[in-house]
């Protein structure tokens, strides 16, 4: 187990380094120039060149990448091209907002998905099971922005129950933030729950054909009690893995949801940076998202082994 952990950690570090290289050199290929965008069309070539020199973008890309990478190891995410400020403090407040949004969505999505998947397995091949399967299939095939705009149209425009824009500030209490979080959280929950529901149901149904389940049924134990007491503990490994994997997908969906609801998080910061051609901010935000995604995938692999005795004690 320790050897596998060290191996997965080494692979994760290599993947983060590859992600950093891809993000940096892909940013170099983006069209346009931040200096021209920032100074406007009336700026002289000398002014544009002076700003580029001040921001240090005239040196070769490989040298700038190595300097950026060295800064990352020291905890320095670089400097914004548009305003010259350090990126770390810019991201700090946005990252806290993103974690609040993702945490609220996960707290709702995980128990809801496991509960609906369990109920669908208990009532399999009945109307409840069919409705859950159809709705989850529709959800998988529908992008986040569709549900976001539908939620805005229904709850903000038609019924005026909730705000359509989720602009939160640092001086707000959680109670003040809560109404602003409802629509973004609802969108993330709907789009991230489908896979968890379907895998929970499939895992439970596959175990329901086991001999010990049949023995428990012959003893007269209710099916729901069998599922809760005997089946769920035996399917926690695949369920836990898919939950963590879907949390990784939820992190990716945050970018779209934050942009639609103008929520001041990491995703919104990244979208704003793209519009300003602030490549260094885009690279820093993208690297944080990529590292989070890789970390959650590593956790999913470790949970799959740690919760499965056969894999945990395999030689």
* Per-residue pLDDT at 143: 87
Residue with tokens 């548009």: 82
Q: Using an 8 Å Cβ cutoff, are 250 and 106 in contact? A: yes
The SS3 call for residue 79 is: strand
The pLDDT of residue 107: 93
Digits of tens for pLDDT over the chain (315 positions)? 677 778 888 998 999 999 999 999 988 887 777 787 778 777 788 888 888 888 888 888 899 899 999 998 888 888 888 888 889 888 988 888 999 999 999 999 999 998 999 899 888 889 999 999 999 999 888 888 899 999 999 999 999 899 998 988 888 888 888 999 999 999 999 988 888 899 888 888 888 877 777 888 878 888 778 888 878 777 877 788 788 878 877 887 888 899 999 999 998 999 888 888 888 999 999 999 999 888 988 888 777 777 665 555 554
The reply to whether the predicted model has a pTM over 0.95 is no
Reading the block at residue 148, the tokens are 């976001």
Which CATH architecture describes the domain 88-278?
A: Orthogonal Bundle (1.10)
For residue 306, the number of C-alpha atoms closer than 13 Å in the C-beta half-sphere is: 11
Instruction: Specify the pLDDT at position 309.
Output: 57
On whether the CB atoms of residues 12 and 295 are closer than 8 A, the answer is: yes
Whether the CB-CB separation of 164 and 156 falls below 8 Å is answered with: yes
283 Cβ neighbours under 8 A, 6+ residues apart: 20, 23, 24, 27, 68, 78
Q: What is the pLDDT of residue 314?
A: 54
DSSP per residue over 107-154, as a string?
A: HHHHHHHHHHHHHHHHTTTSHHHHHHHHHHHHHHTS-HHHHHHHHIII
Q: What are phi and psi of 143, to 5 degrees?
A: -75, 165
Joined together, the tokens standing for residue 183 give 């629509």
**Closest by alpha carbon to 136, among 234, 242, 241?**
242
Contact 196, 113 (CB under 8 A): yes
Given this model, what pLDDT does residue 310 score?
Answer: 55
pLDDT attached to residue 147:
92
Angle at the Cα of 293 from the Cα atoms of 291 and 66, rounded to 5 degrees: 25
**Domain coordinates of the chain in residue numbers?**
88-278
């Amino acid at each position: 187990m320790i050897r596998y952990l060290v191996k997965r950690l080494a692979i994760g570090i290599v993947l983060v380094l590859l992600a950093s290289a891809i993000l940096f050199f892909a940013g170099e290929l983006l069209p346009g120039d931040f200096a021209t965008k920032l100074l406007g069309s009336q700026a002289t070539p000398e002014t544009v060149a002076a700003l580029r020199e001040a921001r240090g973008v005239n040196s070769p890309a490989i040298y700038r990448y190595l300097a950026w990478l060295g800064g990352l190891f020291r905890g320095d995410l670089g400097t914004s091209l548009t305003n010259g400020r350090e990126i770390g403090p810019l991201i700090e407040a946005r990252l806290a907002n993103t974690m609040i949004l993702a945490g609220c969505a996960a707290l709702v999505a995980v128990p809801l998905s496991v509960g609906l998947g369990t109920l669908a397995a208990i009532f399999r091949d009945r109307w409840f099971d069919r409705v859950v399967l159809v709705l989850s299939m529709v959800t998988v095939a529908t992008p986040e922005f569709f549900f976001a705009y539908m939620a805005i149209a229904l709850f903000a425009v038609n019924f005026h129950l909730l705000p359509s824009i989720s602009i939160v500030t640092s001086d707000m209490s959680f109670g003040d933030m809560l109404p602003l979080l409802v629509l973004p959280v609802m969108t993330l929950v709907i789009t991230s729950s489908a896979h968890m529901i379907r895998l929970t149901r499939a895992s439970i149904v596959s175990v329901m054909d086991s001999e010990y389940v049949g023995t428990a049924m012959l003893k007269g134990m209710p099916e729901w009690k069998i599922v809760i007491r005997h089946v769920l503990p035996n399917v926690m490994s695949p369920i836990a893995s898919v939950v963590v994997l879907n949390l990784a997908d939820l992190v990716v969906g945050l970018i779209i949801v934050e942009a639609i609801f103008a929520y001041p998080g990491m995703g919104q910061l990244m979208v704003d940076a793209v519009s300003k051609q602030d490549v260094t901010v885009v690279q820093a935000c993208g690297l944080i998202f990529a590292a989070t995604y890789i970390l959650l995938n590593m956790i999913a692999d470790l949970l799959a082994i740690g919760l499965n005795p056969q894999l945990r004690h395999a030689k």
